[in-house]
Each structure stands twice: as structure tokens, then as C-alpha cells.
Amino acid sequence: MATIVVAEDERDLNNLVRRHLEDEGHRVVQAFDGPSAVLAVGQERPDLLILDWMLPRLDGLEVCRRVRRDSIVPILMLTARSEEVDRVLGLEVGADDYLTKPFSIRELLARVRAMLRRVELLRVARPVEGDPPILVDGPLRIDVGQHLVSLDGRPLELTPKEFDLLALLVRNPGRAFSRDYLVETVWGYEYGGFDRTVDTHVLRLRKKLGPIGERIETVWSIGYRFARARDPA
């Protein structure tokens, strides 16, 4: 069960969405204009925000911008505009996904399920509050907050996805992750690429990491794991 803020000024649509989300067992908080959407997110700390683009007093884009100042809540934007420029603009201010109006309720619920599932995965993958934001394993040092990795004090240049992948593996030493899990967690459920992507990134990581890269082990027919440090002989 999740708490979901639904920000949509068309009351019939808002109520319809609410009813279906409640049927799925979620708790729904309704907002009918921009400022109350921002307020609801601040007060309720929801697991998901469903946000209409066209809202009175503050439009969805501005709501998105304000919410993103201090919240990483996933945002599903509803929009009647399907132009590419709008999608790009929305993604820039921090929306996570889109649904173009008109949409079917079934489509909305599927999207909500997928987004909540991803939140659940990230909860496993990301440090809980209070965890040290710096992971150290031998010569390897990962500063999660600063997105910096160094090896023997020498900074390593990693792409954002390489970084996320490495941080996830190192944070969970010894645990094997399937390719599907890694794709879904690091790239997101919306990623439509091939699972070779994970393999390619692991290859590049191993190369960049040198000897310690060998600890990213292939787990046959599953995926990968970061081997625990061996006790010094």
C-alpha cells in the first residue's frame, strides 16, 4: 500500500483515479490546484505524485520544479500535449514518466504499479537514511553523495550508469543480482534496451577498476555480484 497524491483539477477524473487507486489498496490524497499539490507532497511525503500538467494557479511544470527542491518522490505527469519538446521540458524539471491524455484507467494503473515497483527496488538499492554516504572497500572509495569514485586516491571517471551499477554492487557485497534486476534498478523499468547493456557496463567497469574489478564476478545464468574482500593470507 502506498500513499499517492493525485493533483488534477478535473474533479471527475481526479475522483475516478482516486477510486481505482483506493481499490488497489492505496491511500489517496487529492489536490485540485498547483499550490495545494505542492503542500500535499510536503505534508504527506507520498510514495508517488500523479500530476496533471494543466492546473490552476501553478501549472504542473512549476509544481514539479518546486517539489523537486526537496523531494525525490516519483512523478507521473499527465498531459494532453504529446509534443516531444514538452516531454523533454518535463523530464528536465524532474518528472519521471508521462501519460498522455486521454488514457485508459488500466494504462494508468499499470504505470503506477511499475513506478511503485521501481521505488521498492530503489529502496533496496539505495542506502537507507543514516547509512554512510561513503563506501570504502580496500583501495576503492565511493562517495555516493558527491558521485565520486577513487582507486588508491586516484579519481576514476565513470559514467552515471557505471557509477550507479558499481555503487549498488559494492553496497551489497556477496549478493548476486540478476541482469533484469540491474536493468530495472539502474536504468529504470522504461528502459527498452537489451540486457547486453549490463554486460557492456560491467566490462567497462572491470577495465576501469583494474585488479579490484575482478571482484565483479559473473554469476552463471544469473548476473553479477561484487565478491566480498578476501581475508589477507
Residues that bind Ca ion in the complex, under the rule CB under 5 A: 9, 52, 54
Nearest approach in angstroms of CB 66 to Ca ion is: 17
For residue 194, list its beta bridge partners: none
By beta-carbon distance, which residue lies closest to Ca ion?
54
Residue type at position 45: R
Residue 49 vs 205, nearer CB to Ca ion? 49
Nearest approach in angstroms of CB 53 to Ca ion is: 7
Q: Which helix (H) or strand (E) holds 18?
A: helix 11-23
Nearest approach in angstroms of CB 8 to Ca ion is: 6
With beta carbons less than 8 A apart as the criterion, state whether 131 and 123 touch.
no
Please name the residues in contact with 126: beta carbons below 8 A apart, sequence gap of 6 or more: none
Residue 52 vs 184, nearer CB to Ca ion? 52
Round to whole Å and give the CA distance between 36 and 30: 9
Nearest approach in angstroms of CB 4 to Ca ion is: 17
Helix/strand/coil for 71: coil
Residue type at position 14: N
Nearest approach in angstroms of CB 42 to Ca ion is: 21
Residue 55 vs 202, nearer CB to Ca ion? 55
Helix/strand/coil for 122: helix
Nearest approach in angstroms of CB 91 to Ca ion is: 20
Residue 68 vs 81, nearer CB to Ca ion? 81
Q: Going by DSSP bridges, is the β-strand pair 148-151/154-156 parallel, antiparallel, or unpaired?
A: antiparallel
Distance of CA 113 to the CA centre of its chain: 13
Residue 62 vs 137, nearer CB to Ca ion? 62
Residue 111 vs 171, nearer CB to Ca ion? 111
Radius of gyration of the chain (CA): 20
DSSP state of 73: -
